[in-house]
Every structure is written in C-alpha cells, then in structure tokens.
Structure 1
Amino acid sequence: MSIIYDALKKVQGQEAGENKAGPNSSRQDSSKSPRKNYIIAFLLLVIGSIIFTSRFISIPDFSFKDIFTRKQNSSKNQTEVSDKNAFYSASSTADLSLQGIFYSEGKYTALINDEIVEVGDRIGEAEVLEITQKGVEVAFKGLKVYLEYP
C-alpha cells in the first residue's frame, strides 16, 4: 500500500504544480509577452501617425507644397512693404555722401556732397527731410534714405 500511496502523492504534487503555473507556462508566457509588447507599440505608432497626419489634412487649403511657398510669399510681401517705408543706408545711394553734421544757432546743418544744407534744401534729386546728431534723413527717388554719420 505504501507504493500506491507514494505514487498518489507524486501525482497530486505534479497536479498542484501544474495548477499553479500551468503546463509549460513559464516558456509560453515569456515568449508571448515580448510579442504582445511589440504589437501594442506598433499599434500605438500607427494610431499616433494617423492622428498626426489628420491634423495637417484638416487645415483648410493645406498641402505640403504650401509649407515652402507660404514662407516665400510672406517674405516677398515683407520686402515689398519694407521697400516703401524703410530707411536705406548710404551704400544704397552712392551719389550722396554725408561729410559732416554741424549745430549752430539752435539748428542742425549738414555737409553733403561738399554743400551745406538745412532741412528742406535739395541736393540734385534728394530733399533733406531731417537732420539729427547721428545722421540725415533724405527723400531720394521716392524713397526715404538715412545717411549715417560715422
């Protein structure tokens, strides 16, 4: 009877071990979990990319070409606006040369192209608009030009 009793205990011990972890569960669980993690990561990546691209597509009048052309168009518009209102340095007006600025009798005078000028005077096509300590503002060929004194 002891042989049968020992065999019964052995079988019960094996069943108890299988119930806890299942047959060959340690090998199967370890092989399933990395696959499961890769599948979940891949699905999250696909869903994220779909959401990301749908945000761009939902913008009205959007195309990937517009990313580059809008920047070029906006910079062209800015240069056109700045051409109308900006001050230009003396390098853009080679025929005007500021040689000095003088302060006498409460007003500034300037020496431009070997001529002493005041506000309102003309030098060729240029009209003097303002004279300050740092430079002279001149209207030249329809543009405002700022001649800096070094």
Structure 2
Amino acid sequence: MTMAKRMGLIGCFMVALSLVFAASEATRYNVGGDFGWGIPPNQTFYSDWASSKTFIVGDSLVFNWTGNQNVADVPMADYNNCSTDVITFTGSPNRTVFTITLLFPGPRYFICTVDDHCERGQKFSINVRWPFSSDAPSPSAQPPISSSAPTPSFRV
C-alpha cells in the first residue's frame, strides 16, 4: 500500500472518529467532582464516584489537584498492586490539571503513585463504551495502554 493510500485511510478514519465524537456529545468529567483528585476521605470514594457514570469513547477525565499528586493510566495488574513503577503524568506549581480523553473502548485503570495514596484509595477503574452501545465492550477491544495514554514529555 502506498503512503498516499495509507494517509487517505488515516484521514477517513479520523473524519469518521470525529463524527462519532460529535454525535455522541462527549462529556468532561471532573474526577472526584468538587473534591478533585487527592487522598480521598475513604477507600471507596473514587470507585463510588465512577460507578454512577457511563463513560463513552470521546469523553474526557479532568484530574484537578493541589500538592504532591500525579495520575497514572495503568494496566489492571498495576492497578491491583498499586504499582509505583509506571509512567505518571504530573503537575507543577503552575499546572495542577491533567485531562485524559478516552479514545478506545474497554477497561481503564487510574492510580496516584505518590507515597501510599493508591493504597489509601486514590484510584478507580472504569469501563469505556462505544457511543450508542448498551453492551459493555470486550476487554480484548482495548489496545495496549501505551497507545491509548497521552504521550508524556521528557526534558533532557
């Protein structure tokens, strides 16, 4: 397949994807509501918050925090183990908001890797659905985490 054909197919895919996003009226969720992203008041705070929502492809999760926090989009094993050996997205004194757009259906797992924050309940999982779908997507529909997570920037 020539490069021009590939670019044409990619362009068609991007147009179709944008139409799906526009038709679904994507929602921006402030993770944790007014509480934001921090050490929760109890172990089930974020799970309870997420359980009352339906997340679809195109929605965004907005993580707002103050102080020493971060967010990691991790595989289930790292979620279950509260692994700290993962790529994280952090803020700075001038940036305490991080947004993740949900681009693919399937399960997603988010944790904070600072100190014992995850063990104290600063984590939650969701199941992202295709727009207009009433069935939960199959876990096999999810691409590898690295292709669905935002690309971090590194300073050298």
Higher helix share: 1
Question: What TM-score, normalized by structure 2, do the two folds share?
Answer: 0.22
Q: Greater relative contact order: 1 or 2 (C-alpha under 8 angstroms, separation 6 or more)?
A: 2
